[in-house]
Structure 1
Amino acid sequence: MTPTPMSSPLSRRLFLGSLAAVGATTALAACGGSSTPPGAGVPSGAFGQGDTYTGPKVALSFWNGFTGGDGPFMRQLVEQFNKANPTVTVSMNTLQWGDYYAKVPNAVASGAGPDIGIMHIDQLATNAARRVIIPLDEVASGLKLTESDFAPVVWKAGVYQDKRYGIPLDIHPLGFYANTGQLSKAGIDKLPTDRAGFEAAVKALQAGGGVKQPFWVTATWPAHLMFTALVAQFGGSIYDAEGGKATFNSDAGVESLEWLRSFITNGASPANVSNDAQAQAFRQQRNSLTWDGIWMMNEWAKVNGLKWGAAALPTIGDKPATWASSHNFVVTTQATKDKNKLAASRAFISYVSERSIEWAKSGQIPARNSVRESAAFSALPVQSTLAAQLPNVVFPPAVPGIGDVTTPTFEAAVNEVILGKAQAKAALDAAAKKADALLADNRAKYQA
């Protein structure tokens, strides 16, 4: 398979691994405790109608975290928009995701930040509660966008307190990758789709494929993402539907974590596999099977001689499910000072959204149905294959601060169990207690 090269996966890892620090930093800039509802003060009708901008010349500051190989794809779309819209100048600024989420609130408050930006799905409620971003219901209605135009899971996830804060651009799920050359040597001609098939493939690879440790389970990234997917597959969830209580210490959570640990116990994975080591091993053909983000397809494509295939995550539990995130367009409170910026923002969002097949080539699944249903998208083998998982995507609840809870709680518990330092039930129970306290603190902080 030969997908188009994209960014290093490091940017995604830095983003997800830095959320706890970001939450502590940006909380200082929050307007938490205000009785003013998020989005208040946005003039009615300010965004206008239609997908074009007809006002006077205006400049838009556009910030995002596309610092890797995905950046040129977005920059090209920005340049195309500017050329097609001579009265609008969009200036794109990129930062590492961790820096981005730390800097945006203060920059917006001072008037030196972005007018329009990109945010991950689990950051929308937090930044809405902090009055950093504004509702986009009028953007959606002005562009005649409804749930029927998008994958329902990502459209619904952009709503906080009955208002829409994100216009979804893409979805990026976990995928299942396999060294097809090693599978063939072991007598397997198809990627396994269920628990029995997956476990049989591991044994066959050890026996006939000549791979002593075919499935490396990491102690850090992406183990907590795998855990999230598995919990849903076994019928559980990370949090309750309201995001007020941790539920990852359920029977589903324990079974998920014990299943991951079992590959170390039975010798199919080394112990103490560090961050990204499993991906490096896959490049070097020292392992055969790995679960990682869709963006990794481009990393494998760079390796000469590596024969590989991609598929949806195998269904280890009772039903299919996968972890995923999503990039969403947002408009900041800074832009509300100029109605022309709001109208131009609507036109820019529409332009990129309609042309998100170009963004898909960077290693993403477009959120818009019309793009995913196109022949051009069908011609992208990995993206179109992993898009079949969209009905089974797991997103966190839309509550402020939810992204700050992961690292010190269930991610830490997964790490302890994978390293053999704790039993699954005890580690998850302790982490759930800590998560409940953090969730309560967030409710008080954001008055949510």
Structure 2
Amino acid sequence: MNRPFSVAPEPDRTGRAAASQLGRRALLGGAVAAGVGLVAACSPGSSGRPGQTAPKGDGGAEGYDGPAVELAFWHGLTGGDGPIMKDLTARFSKEFPKITIKQQAIAWEQYYEKLPAAVSQGKGPDIAIMHIDRVPTNAARRVIQPLDDVNDALGLGEGDYVPIAWQAGQYDGQHWSVPLDIHCAGLYYNKKTMEQVGLDPETPPTNEEEYLSALDAAKSKGMQGMWVSALSAPGLLCQTLLYQFGGQMVAKDGSAVEFGSEAGVKAVEWLKMLIKEGYSPPKAAADGDVVSFQNDKSLFMFNGSWMVTPLNDVKELEWGAAIVPNIGGTEAVWSGSHQMVLPDNRGGADENRSKAGRVFLNWLSKHSLDWADAGQVPARNDVREDPKFDEKGPVVEFAKQLDYINFTPPIPGITDCLVDWAPAVSSAMLGQKDTATALGEAQEKGNRILQQNMEKYG
């Protein structure tokens, strides 16, 4: 049996599951309460203080010729992607020996609480990575500074990136981030177990009929082919299904929370069906999908692109990755994006540190092909068009979904509106509440918070 492993959390853009010990994907279902913590921890009001004016200059395009500086770099890359980012920063420092990058990896849920508080005290990092749904909130609260000069220096705009990855960085007529990647849901399939139950290990299912047929084949051999947990299901798994059934977590124009729709109910009921029909154990642990998969006890899991590195570390595991099967009739998947930002520390930044930080963002954007080794799809079109990208294995498969990825709309406070999603899904899957009732009540609360945020942020 292959050894089990822990995977650090990678948060989603919504609510998180009610579990204290979750795997990376499991935490996709849990702790967006960090969004609330962000509001509480950041001392400036919603109007904020004026954002720091971007320094005049080349936005980092021409390198750095100032005195030696050390830059603090914060992010939440605590899993298999962390070492790859460490290698990239080491390469950068060799190329720019006067710029030392000191990284600090903080679990995402703590990160989003700690960052605004540190910035408000003038003790924040010089460079940071932020999920796409957090950019507008932190821009509105002046936790980060506008980066139009960096994007201009790169010579890149909306047409040079996956469009919605660029659009989400816009707020109040300025651009506040540099898109680094897209991390989307994907299908992981275990070749060994597929072969054991009589399936072609090189032909993963592409639709609901093929998917359920494969699960039936596993069931006939005494295997539960897809482990589903009420604790982690609210993450990218249930959200992907909601999108595939034609719904939205939040209306695309940001006007209303919509996860309580018929599509949301269908998504939850489909997952409940997997348990009812015996395709999944009834009480799988939050990380049961990962543990069963890497121990050759299941066929499939829907998980994030960040699982590539941890699965590669399980040397005896024979696995592949593909686009998510179309279960609900609409081609759609959950997705997120890491965006590079520069915090706006109170008191202003030293001009040399500010310039050096921009040099790093510029450099990292240009080297995002190497970041694909962490399972992340580069956000830049020209990087994905590089012939070397075709050598990136599973990431190439995930990139095939870029035409139908889904983010929540880029409005301040969006994560606050989705705090009740995860508990509602979990309670419905556990039979504690009727699905429509649970989602409807959570949606009502979300819309109240959405209205409050509209008044708060304007």
Judge same fold: TM > 0.5, yes or no: yes
Q: Aligned with 2:257: secondary structure?
A: coil
Q: Does 1:379 align with 2:391?
A: yes
Distance 1:412-1:6 versus aligned 2 partners, 3 A rule: closer
What is the aligned-residue identity percentage?
Answer: 37
**Counterpart in 2 of 1:78?**
89
1:213-292 matches, within 5 Å, as 213-292=224-303
Q: Given residue 187 of structure 1, which amino acid in structure 2 is its aligned partner?
A: G
**Counterpart in 2 of 1:437?**
448
Q: Given residue 226 of structure 2, which amino acid in structure 1 is its aligned partner?
A: F
1:57-96 matches, within 5 Å, as 57-96=68-107
2:162 to 140, 151, 169: 151
Paired residues of 1:377 and 1:384 also in contact (CA < 8 A) = yes
Paired residues of 1:30 and 1:131 also in contact (CA < 8 A) = no
Paired residues of 1:26 and 1:103 also in contact (CA < 8 A) = no
Q: Aligned with 2:334: secondary structure?
A: strand
Alpha-carbon distance, 1:11 to partner = 5.4
Which has the higher mean CA deviation after the structures are superposed, 346-355 or 27-36?
27-36
Which has the higher mean CA deviation after the structures are superposed, 59-68 or 244-253?
59-68
In structure 2, the gaps of 5 or more residues are: 10-22
Paired residues of 1:6 and 1:70 also in contact (CA < 8 A) = no
Distance 1:75-1:301 versus aligned 2 partners, 3 A rule: closer
**Counterpart in 2 of 1:361?**
373
In structure 1, the gaps of 5 or more residues are: none
Paired residues of 1:177 and 1:309 also in contact (CA < 8 A) = yes
Q: Does 1:394 align with 2:394?
A: no
- 2: CA distance, partners of 1:26 / 1:331: 19
**Counterpart in 2 of 1:447?**
457
Alpha-carbon distance, 1:429 to partner = 0.8
Q: Given residue 241 of structure 2, which amino acid in structure 1 is its aligned partner?
A: L
Paired residues of 2:27 and 2:235 also in contact (CA < 8 A) = no
- 2: CA distance, partners of 1:51 / 1:276: 46
**Counterpart in 2 of 1:205?**
218
Paired residues of 2:80 and 2:310 also in contact (CA < 8 A) = no
Q: Given residue 386 of structure 1, which amino acid in structure 2 is its aligned partner?
A: F
Alpha-carbon distance, 1:379 to partner = 1.1
Q: Does 1:124 align with 2:135?
A: yes
- 2: CA distance, partners of 1:157 / 1:33: 19
Paired residues of 2:32 and 2:109 also in contact (CA < 8 A) = yes
- 2: CA distance, partners of 1:221 / 1:401: 23
- 2: CA distance, partners of 1:161 / 1:211: 57
Q: Aligned with 1:63: secondary structure?
A: strand
1:29 to 25, 42, 46: 42
Q: Aligned with 1:431: secondary structure?
A: helix
CA deviations 1:31-90 (Å, max 9, x no partner) are: 224276xx6441563564624224444442221122333222222222222222233333
- 2: CA distance, partners of 1:251 / 1:177: 28
Q: Given residue 272 of structure 2, which amino acid in structure 1 is its aligned partner?
A: R
Please report the TM-score for the alignment, with normalisation by the length of structure 2. 0.88
Q: Given residue 94 of structure 1, which amino acid in structure 2 is its aligned partner?
A: A
Paired residues of 1:32 and 1:129 also in contact (CA < 8 A) = no
Please report the TM-score for the alignment, with normalisation by the length of structure 1. 0.90
Alpha-carbon distance, 1:305 to partner = 3.7
1:166 to 166, 177, 190: 177
Q: Given residue 236 of structure 1, which amino acid in structure 2 is its aligned partner?
A: G
Moved segments of 4+, more than 6 Å: none
